[in-house]
Amino acid sequence: MSITTDWSTKYDRLIWEAICSGKVTGALQGRPTEVIESGLAHVFFYDDTVYKLYKTHDDKDHFIKGVLAPTDRRTAFLTHDFSLNQHFSDTVYQQLYSVYYRQGKAEVLPFDGASVYTLVQMSRLDFDTNLHERLLRDDIDTDSLFFLGYETARAVDTCPVKAPDMLNWYDLATERVAFLKQFTAWLPTEFATAVNDSGVLESFDKHLEKYREEYESLKGGELTVNIDNHDENVFFKDGKPQFIDLLPPMSCWWFGLPYANLSNLMVNVEALHSIEFAKHIEKGYFEYFGITALPAHTYGFTHAFAHMISVAHFGSVAGKEEVTKRYLERLPEVKGWL
């Protein structure tokens, strides 16, 4: 008798096959009309309704194993993920279900907080309204960007999720930079070399040491929820911004300086459209909070990090080579932000 060490991967496959073939009971019926796969999840389309099933990633060397592996941490992540996304896009994120595999079928039941697998029910969004696609088509207006900045500020400000008191910005930022270095090392040689030769990664280290004492003091009420609101995760529905997939599996991304959420959006528009248009996001954000500026060094850090994590992301996606190069063109500027 042999003992399998990859049981969760096999279980992932069984549930995926059951749903794809329509072998489902409970709240879900029939076969999906379309199925796609991302790095973290399987996504099933039933006309205008979408269901998302997170994988377990039992690979011991995978950087997200600690969060999505079948443990209590996975359950905590799945519930946090749903509640956060529902706050930011309540018309998109509808319901969370528990999923069990029984007698060759996927049984979809009301969420019980105990199941390893869940389905997130969402309404389908129009891909043509995606911010990334609109930027590439040059199909974005300043009013929409102002509203995006304002709504981002409002949603973050009203989010009930608060940063734990023991967290501080220095530790969170240091962890993020470590991830950035790892992601950069995984890039194709052309892109990794450009980043390494620029000296930007070393500038992050120098910046963090220079402001270490101040950043260690930024904790508690100084921090807010941070979200993965880059341009590919932003849609517009009836003119209103809608955000999806906001919780990355790395917990050091979950809280931080509030305007890290602003920087995420601005660097996308700066790189793919113009600095002039990006300023309208900033204006909307400033309008909500009634401010006229942000601290130059902390804002510079969040801006530089958002830009470089975009390089790491797009540089790892096939077909996004030209997009990545547009970000790389700004490397000399990024170093100056730090």
Residue 282 region, left (φ>0) first, then alpha (ψ -120 to 50), else beta?
alpha
d(CA 67, CA 73): 6
pLDDT at 304 over 60: yes
Asked which of 59-63, 170-174, 234-238 is least confident by mean pLDDT, the reply is 59-63
pLDDT at 17 over 70: yes
Of 159, 308, 148, give the one whose Cα is nearest residue 231: 148
Asked which of 25-39, 129-143, 273-287, 302-316 is least confident by mean pLDDT, the reply is 25-39
173 in Cβ contact with 215 (< 8 Å) = yes
Instruction: Give the pLDDT band of residue 7 (cuts 50, 70, 90).
Output: low
pLDDT at 126 over 60: yes
pLDDT number for residue 40:
82
| Percentage of the chain lying above the pLDDT 70 cut | 95
Of 68, 70, 92, give the one whose Cα is nearest residue 80: 68
pLDDT number for residue 61:
60
pLDDT at 2 over 70: no
pLDDT number for residue 248:
85
Any residues with CB less than 8 A from the CB of 34 and at least 6 apart, and which?
Answer: 44, 45
